[in-house]
Copies of this chain bind each other. A is one copy, B any other.
């Protein structure tokens, strides 16, 4: 356990006493064993660099306001989490050791509207909770969820997470935020800035500037509630699965997909290389026992035995059956150009039971975490995904460069491509390691940094990053001598002058911790 910078134990105890008066005894945690719930379970050997001093859970925004007042008074930074399931990116752990976790999971209100297809959610609402709520009320609305669905709907949307249905761009479904600023002021964005607003969750604009974006991947405020658009249950959907046998098939596959994404035929899609399928279902030891990255022959053997493609694409088509059928024809025509492509199509009518493997395409959350355990031991992974244009040759170039980096660092190349946005992919690439293996942890960190540096050479920026990589990624956004970060810092100083909210998130540090300060603080 670490104390907040500048506080001794006695002072910290005083703070905790004050905080307990706000939320009650049970909702302030400082003892080591209970704090471990906030560890990053996938930390690449850096747990001790990202330790909270404690955790506090408000029940409502009044308590939250008092917490922020106390935190400001004593100079205690708080690291906001909704549920803390931000696995691969740091979990619940703070960028700045000694921060107190501000755990919002007790705030769990839901209010859904079937007619206008939206819900209001508080930070503690998980995908599973929201799904069950809609089922219980028999509201014919779909959610879009991550896999697994145990995380916070709001938290994931704020981090710009993605899912698998037409509503897979989670940040794009946000409509109306309620935000508490560091000074305790509550604002509502967009139409919510009007009292008794009828259109807060219905129209994304504001009169004047839109402030919503300020609170994505951000430490400018604490989001306490959001409107989120939901999808009316479609009359039918078809799960479409395509496999492509050869590594360089990705060029044709991407170029065939692009027009279908741009004209809306395919509402979103994910593409997985062999390793993404293999790592989700097997361990490496089942296939190969040598050191270093698996050689090409072993990969080919795995592909053959598992009956998968080097590339595996998956998406849903949704709507009235005849429209789905027409769209399916267009899909088949577009991909038929690629040699040895294989199609699997599974159709579902409204009300039919969806097979487990297609549930994420229908917004049905799974509750199981499938740990990636490719290398054996205690499986963990980190991510540092770049965004890449949806152009076959550019995706393939990135793939080859990343393959080389994965392999030279001793890892097999795990590659996922997600296009919830129609002109680009988010290229996830789990670096899987045994978190109890010190050497592997170090290699994973080095690979992470190398991937980030290499993406920059290609003009590709990061979509998200592990807490240990946030400064590195942020520094790459260097246009006009880092003008963007200068403005972020100006805004940080404006909205959170004492710098108590989530210091260091996405590389944004408060004034007192900039430059040497932030390293010193660790």
Contact = CB atoms under 8 A, between A and B. Distances in A.
A258 interface: yes
A213 interface: yes
A160 B327 CA distance: 32
A390 B477 CA distance: 41
A205 B209 contact: no
A348 interface: no
A57 B209 CA distance: 25
Interface stretch (A103-111, A179-187, A513-521): A179-187
Contact of A186 (B196, B217, B388, B480): B480
Contact of A203 (B194, B387, B476): B387
B205 A210 contact: no
Given A319-B263, A424-B202, A477-B193, A115 B218 contact: no
A218 to B, nearest CB: 4
Given A185-B487, A208-B217, A208-B218, A198 B389 contact: yes
B199 A389 contact: yes
B194 A459 contact: yes
A418 B233 CA distance: 25
A115 B259 CA distance: 8
Contacts of A199: 387-389, 424, 459-461
A195 B478 contact: yes
A269 to B, nearest CB: 15
Contacts of A166: 264
A479 B206 contact: no
Contact of A208 (B171, B207, B474, B495): B474
Nearest to A473: B207
Q: How many copies does the complex hold?
A: 2
A216 B205 contact: yes
A367 interface: no
B387 A208 contact: no
Nearest to A426: B203
A209 B486 CA distance: 13
Given A207-B473, A391-B116, A195 B479 contact: yes
A478 B213 contact: no
Give the residue among A185, A186, A485 with the most B Cβ atoms within 10 A. A185
A214 B204 CA distance: 13
A461 B175 CA distance: 15
A232 B210 CA distance: 28
B207 A461 contact: yes
B207 A216 contact: no
Contacts of A487: 181, 185, 187, 211, 495
B216 A185 contact: no
Contacts of A345: none
A447 to B, nearest CB: 19
A84 interface: no
Contact of A209 (B215, B234, B258, B390): B215
Given A116-B391, A205-B160, A460-B198, A480 B213 contact: no
Nearest to A488: B208
Contacts of A198: 388-389, 394, 458-460
Nearest to A230: B262
A206 to B, nearest CB: 7
A115 to B, nearest CB: 7
B423 A193 contact: no
Interface in A151-184: 160, 166, 171-172, 175, 181
A370 interface: no
A166 to B, nearest CB: 8
A436 interface: no
Interface in A401-441: 421, 423-424
Contacts of A207: 217, 461-465, 473-474, 477, 506-507
Contacts of A217: 205-209
A450 interface: no
A213 B210 contact: yes
Nearest to A212: B213
A229 B423 contact: yes
Contacts of A226: none
A181 B483 CA distance: 10
Interface string A84-110: 000000000000000000000000000
Interface of A: 115-118, 160, 166, 171-172, 175, 181, 185-189, 191-199, 201-218, 220, 229, 232, 234, 258-259, 262-265, 319-320, 322-323, 326-327, 330, 387-391, 394, 421, 423-424, 456, 458-465, 473-474, 476-480, 483-488, 490-491, 493-495, 505-508
16 contacts: A175-B423, A181-B487, A189-B484, A194-B479, A197-B479, A199-B387, A207-B464, A207-B465, A207-B474, A207-B507, A208-B488, A210-B216, A211-B488, A212-B213, A232-B259, A494-B494
The 4 closest A-B pairs by CB, nearest first: A210-B213, A193-B484, A208-B506, A494-B494
